[in-house]
Structure 1
């Protein structure tokens, strides 16, 4: 990966960071809702006592979603920018370049899906009450 274009490396790292930030949206909102829906309120209470930071994430879900959305926007911009970056002529490096593009795009799309699930649980489903 060290021989890859800096744009491709940047898009891969930003995609990996975006999946990390998108996962926080699931922890703050989707996981508690799922546990309560399944009747596992005691499990949720045990989880909150073991990891009290979950309460902070839930209380500040606007900040969590804003940071994750900003990271996804940056990662999307880097994906677009790296889309037409040149790959090396060497067949092995060209294959690594193409594989990095596919992996990076797949991770980014997965991050978007995670963000969407968190968004539904945090903001849309509470409107139905």
Structure 2
């Protein structure tokens, strides 16, 4: 019975890791595109001067998105595996188990939304503007 809370913790941590990885896609691609679209190129150049690693992330956006997709796939598999796992009988532990499961699901959905937003700015919009 002790393995189920540990499995839920792993699911929650994997969702958090997926959230951070998909947040990286926003930093690499969506944030610079948004700043340029808003006419804040000077702010972008200041940001790149302060954090030069952003250039590396932008140059390697395929790897960043690949890593984020792998993390999302792993987190999704763990979410699916644990979505019907039994919770402990003790009311306090059961409530904690259900709360962790709910938070983990919301974190995963937020991660997917961040990933899709980053992919929109990194791949779809540049392709659309070139074709249009």
**2:45 is the counterpart of 1:51:** no
**Poorly superposed stretches of 4+, deviation over 6 Å:** none
> How far, CA to CA, are the matches of 1:18 and 1:29 in structure 2?
17
Matched, 1:116 2:116: yes
What residue is the counterpart of 1:61 in the other structure?
Answer: 61
Q: TM-score, normalised on structure 2?
A: 0.94
8 Å contact 2:22–2:68 — kept in the other structure? yes
Aligned-residue CA RMSD (Å): 1.3
- In 1, are the aligned partners of 2:18 and 2:75 still within 8 Å (CA)? yes
* 8 A contact 1:8–1:82 mirrored in 2: yes
Consecutive unaligned residues in structure 2, runs of 5 or more: none
Indicate the residue corresponding to 1:23 in structure 2: 23
Secondary structure of the corresponding residue to residue 17 of structure 1: helix
**Number of paired residues?**
128
Q: Which whole-Å CA distance do the structure 2 matches of 1:63 and 1:50 have between them?
A: 23
TM-score scaled by structure 1? 0.96
Please, which runs of 5 or more residues in structure 1 have no aligned partner?
Answer: none
Find the counterpart in structure 2 of residue 34 from structure 1.
34
